[in-house]
Structure 1
Amino acid sequence: MQDDVTGRTLMIHEPRAVPRLGVALGFGPMPPFVAGSAASWTLGGEPGQAAVTVTLLWGCAILLFFSGVRRGVSFRTEGGATVTQIATMMGLFVLGFGALLAVALGRAAFAAALLIAGYSAVAVLDPIAARRGEAPLFFARLRPIQMPLAIVSLAAILVLVARG
């Protein structure tokens, strides 16, 4: 690292492999989606509805976290934040917050649809961002296998809620 009166220059080596902590933190948030979806289908009644609500709220929290991750990474992008990084961050935030509002208003199906859109965007856009130097390289490997767990779980909840 070089520091002078005009700023700081960082030189880093970023591995393509997913670090162990990245595996733990990447897949750690996924079991609540699967468990919540399974509980929603198997419990029925008020416990099943509670599982739907908690799973959707979990999905909102994690998607809003991903929005913050995108913004945080943009602070260290060579040349500064890109329009794509800011647009992605804002899009994920709007989807996550919109889903949170939908849960609060009792619109579980709409919340699930917004979350599915958000997690699908992460699955597609993070690998592209990784190749462009706008996200960690390991996102290109992690996101395509991480996000389907959330997407499938949320889709199962959407089907359940849409069935009434």
Structure 2
Amino acid sequence: MQVAQYEEDAQDHTPAESLLLAYAAMLPIASGTAASLALGRERGAALEVSTIRFAGAVLCFLAGVRRGLSFRQSGGPTVGQLGVMFSTFSLGSGALLLPPRKPALLLLLSGFGLLALLDPEAARTHQAPRFFARLRPVQMVIPIASLAALFFRRSKTVK
């Protein structure tokens, strides 16, 4: 039985559906943060919790994306690919399990930062689609900036 080989698109452009899905996933994080900050600490508390939980779920999803990408590698996943996937999943699930406070935000910031740094490298080494090299750093600015704003708001208040 002949197995079809995966052939990557030789173009560096990001497909329209990938752009839409990539930024649509970040919209609730940015809008939840903006609304929470606008409403203030007490009135925006529920939105802040929802935003942190959603960000944790997105980070777990992106860990799954990393795992899925490793399936297309001949010879199976590398130790590094599995390490990034487990690290990203651990940071996302840790943020979901912790109370939605500064430690959870630090886990999320670490996870999204990890993807912003490592996904472009994965694209350059043909372990991810080429367009990840340009998409991920820009895409990850949204959750990093949003969650950093929530973190700094928590740093200003006592609790």
Q: Check whether TM > 0.5.
A: yes
Alpha-carbon distance change, 107 to 26 in structure 1, aligned in 2, over 3 angstroms:
closer
Superposed displacement of residue 121, structure 1: 0.4
- Partners of 1:157 and 1:11 in 2: how far apart? 41
Equivalent residue number for residue 108 of structure 2: 115
State the AA in 2 paired with 1:55: T
1:29-40 matches, within 5 Å, as 29-40=25-36
Matched, 1:22 2:15: no
For residues 42-121 of structure 1, what are the structure 2 equivalents within 5 Å? 42-102=38-98, 106-121=99-114
Map residues 5-16 of structure 1 onto 2, 5 A cutoff: 8-14=3-9, 15-16=11-12
Q: 1:64 to 1:11 in 2, by over 3 A?
A: closer
Q: Structure 2-normalised TM-score?
A: 0.93
Local SS of the residue matching 2:75: coil
Q: How many residues align?
A: 156
**Distance across 2 between alignment mates of 1:97 and 1:139:** 23
TM-score by length of 1: 0.90
Q: Deviations over 1:57-101 (max 9, x none)?
A: 110010000000011111111331111110000000110011111
What amino acid sits opposite 1:80 in the alignment?
A: G
Q: Which amino acid aligns with 1:10?
A: Q
Paired with 2:52 and 2:153, the residues of 1 have a C-alpha distance of 13
Residue 150 of structure 1: aligned partner: 143
Contact 2:8 2:129 in 1 (8 A): no
Q: RMSD of the alignment, in Å?
A: 1.3
1:18-71 deviations in Å (ceiling 9; x for gaps): 000110011111121111111121112443111110100110010000000011
Which sections of structure 2, spanning at least 5 residues, go unmatched?
none
**Letter matched to residue 126 of structure 2:** G
Q: 2: CA distance between counterparts of 1:83 and 1:121?
A: 16
Runs (4+) of structure 1 exceeding 3 A deviation are: none
Counterpart CA distance in 2 for 1:135 and 1:82 is 13
Match for 2:62: what amino acid?
A: F
Match of 2:33, as an amino acid?
S
Structure 1: which 5+ residue stretches go unaligned? none
- Which segment drifts farther, 106-115 or 143-152? 106-115
Quote the Cα distance in structure 2 between the aligned partners of 1:65 and 1:140.
Answer: 19
Contact 2:52 2:100 survives alignment (8 Å): no
CA distance in structure 1 between the aligned counterparts of 2:128 and 2:81, rounded to whole angstroms: 9
